[in-house]
A and B are shown apart, each in its own frame.
Chain A
Amino acid sequence: MVLISCVFFLPESLAQGPPINTETPILLGLEGGGFRTFGKIVSTDLGTTYIQPLAIPYNLGTNFQIGVMQPFISIYPKIGDNNSGFGNLSLFVKQMLFQFDSKAKTFRGLLKYTQTFPTGASSVSADNYSSQFMFVAGYVNLNYSLNGSVSYTFVSKNLPDNFVYDFAFGYPLLPQKYPPFQLNLYLELNGQKTLKINKNLLFLSPGIQLITSSTFLLESSFQIPLVDDSGIIRNTFSFGIRYLVF
Chain B
Amino acid sequence: MWHGFPLRPDQISTIAQGVDHLYYFLTAVDLFFTAGIFLTIFYFAIRYRRRSEDEQPPRIEGNLALEITWSVVPALLCGVMFVWGSSLYIRNSRPPEAATEIFVIGKQWMWHLQHPEGPREINELHVPVGRPIKLTMTSEDVIHDFFVPAFRVKKDVVPGRYSTIWFQATKTGRYRFFCAQYCGTFHSHMTGWVEVMTPEEYEHWLSGGVKTESMAAAGAALYQQFGCVTCHGTGKGPPFTNLYGNPVKLDNGQTVVADDAYLRESILDPSAKIVAGYSPIMPTFRGQISEEQILQIIAYIKSLSTAEGKK
The answer to whether A and B come from one shared complex is no
Q: B residues bordering A, Cβ < 8 Å?
A: none
